[in-house]
């Protein structure tokens, strides 16, 4: 029996992504000893479904990796080299997420909330975009659709993340302005939310 190396690589990356997120969120739980700013918890509870959405998409990916015939109706005729490019993109993005986690350190929070000692992070990828984790996640979603050559998986991923991420960004921006005031407003003016602006990286 021929081994489908693309599907095997796809499955490995899904497992790695899930494990990495689990470790990061567990670390965040250990850091979340201090109280959070007003109103944060109610929003976090309201959008705790983000984890449900993530589970939904991950389940779809696992189904394709283990039982691809179940989603064969959504198959797209893509050349293998293009699908391998999707696999390579996912791997690079996973490294990017590790970079984001290292830059955030104890400031990372799985929920939409800030710690009492939360700092304004301007290092690493935050020099170029304000929400690099969301930027990278959306690239991963598209790359997973390419690697699987399945439009159904791509549609589920984009519909899963896009709306929720935009809602989270809106709330996070309000919280950061409330906490850091003019410093964050200047940061907003200088650095794009999801994409770098012209002249990016010139400021410390």
For 161, phi and psi rounded to 5 degrees? -95, -35
Determine, yes or no, domain membership for 202: no
Domain of residue 155, CATH code: 1.20.120.1630
Q: How far apart are CA 138 and CA 148, in angstroms?
A: 16
Query: Looking at residue 189, what DSSP letter applies?
Result: H
Determine, yes or no, domain membership for 125: yes
C-alpha distance from residue 142 to each of 139, 157, 185 (Å):
5, 8, 31
Q: What's the confidence (pLDDT) of residue 186?
A: 94
Determine, yes or no, domain membership for 30: no
**pLDDT tens for the 204 residues of the chain, in order:** 455 888 888 888 877 777 776 666 666 555 554 444 444 444 444 444 455 556 667 777 778 778 888 888 889 999 999 999 999 999 999 899 889 988 988 777 766 677 677 889 999 999 999 999 889 988 988 998 999 999 988 888 888 778 778 888 888 899 899 999 999 999 999 999 998 887 544 444
Determine, yes or no, domain membership for 89: yes
Which residues constitute the domain of residue 126?
A: 5-21+37-190
Q: At a CB cut-off of 8 Å and minimum separation 6, what does 62 contact?
A: 11, 14
Q: What's the confidence (pLDDT) of residue 65?
A: 79
Helix axes 5-31, 132-148, angle to 10 degrees: 160
Determine, yes or no, domain membership for 72: yes
Determine, yes or no, domain membership for 13: yes
Determine, yes or no, domain membership for 31: no
Q: How many domains would you assign to the chain?
A: 1
Q: How far apart are CA 151 and CA 110, in angstroms?
A: 29
Determine, yes or no, domain membership for 27: no
Burial 111-140 (b: 16+ CB within 10 A, else e): bbbbbeebeebeebbbbbbbbbbbbbbbeb
Q: At a CB cut-off of 8 Å and minimum separation 6, what does 202 contact?
A: none
Q: How far apart are CA 101 and CA 25, in angstroms?
A: 10
Q: How far apart are CA 142 and CA 137, in angstroms?
A: 9
Q: How far apart are CA 22 and CA 16, in angstroms?
A: 10
What pTM did the predictor assign?
0.78
Structure tokens at 2: 């021929």
Site of tokens 């109610």: 42
Kindly state the helix (H) or strand (E) to which residue 158 belongs, with its residue range: helix 151-180
């Amino acid at each position: 029996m021929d081994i489908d190396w693309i599907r095997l690589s796809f499955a490995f990356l899904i497992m790695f992504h899930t494990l990495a997120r689990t470790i990061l969120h567990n670390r965040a739980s250990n850091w979340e000893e201090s109280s959070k700013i007003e109103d944060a918890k109610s929003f976090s509870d309201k959008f705790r479904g983000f984890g449900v959405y993530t589970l939904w998409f991950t389940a779809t990916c696992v189904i394709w990796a283990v039982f691809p015939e179940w989603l064969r109706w959504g198959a797209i005729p893509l050349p293998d080299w293009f699908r391998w490019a999707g696999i390579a993109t996912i791997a690079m993005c996973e490294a990017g997420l590790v970079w984001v986690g290292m830059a955030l350190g104890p400031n990372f929070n799985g929920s939409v909330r800030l710690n009492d000692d939360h700092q304004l992070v301007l290092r690493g990828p935050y020099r170029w975009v304000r929400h690099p984790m969301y930027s990278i996640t959306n690239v991963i979603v598209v790359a997973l659709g390419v690697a699987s050559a399945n439009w159904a998986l791509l549609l589920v991923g984009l519909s899963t993340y896009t709306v929720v991420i935009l809602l989270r960004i809106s709330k996070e921006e309000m919280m950061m302005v409330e906490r850091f005031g003019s410093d964050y407003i200047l940061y907003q003016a200088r650095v794009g939310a999801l994409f770098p602006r012209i002249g990016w990286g010139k400021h410390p």
